[in-house]
Amino acid sequence: MILSLDEAIKKLKAEILSPVWDLPQKKIEPLEAAFSCLKNRFKTRKNALAILTMADSVLQYAKKQQEPLAVEFIDFLKEAMAHIVNIYEEGKFDPEHEEQLFKRVYSRFTILKKRVQAKKKAQAKPDKQPEIHQ
């Protein structure tokens, strides 16, 4: 699915305003297309591109999950998309503002990454302790 820039922004706005706080597979493909379009648009703007990349990472994580995505991940995704929409609609390039946004989004992203790593670590541990034979 290929989207125009206006369609991509409309898709992000619709998801941001959606009262539904889940991410079924049918919502993921259009968001992937929107992110792809916007990554191309912001390819020369390091911080905006990084925010999109983090949002896309959460989207890919959601795609791989068998269970519903935790609210914190959806909240992060909506916040990142809102920042991208605002950056696009401002129309002027303000590198300092974009860097501040990036730092804020990145700090939240690292918290989510740690949560995923902790979950993987917990799943990797065996359920019962191995028996010690003497």
- pLDDT digit string, tens, across residues 63-79: 998 788 899 999 999 99
Question: What residue has token string 């916007």?
Answer: 38
pTM of the model: 0.86
Q: Given CATH 1.20.120, say whether it is the number of domain 5-116.
A: yes
Going by pLDDT thresholds of 50, 70 and 90, the confidence category of residue 130 is low
- pLDDT per residue as tens digits for the range 8-45: 999 999 999 998 888 888 889 999 999 999 999 999 99
Residue ranges per domain, the chain?
Answer: 5-116
How far CA 64 is from CA of 59, 74, 79, 115, 122, in Å, comes to 9, 15, 21, 16, 18
User: What does the pLDDT look like over 76-94, one tens digit per residue?
Assistant: 999 999 999 999 999 899 9
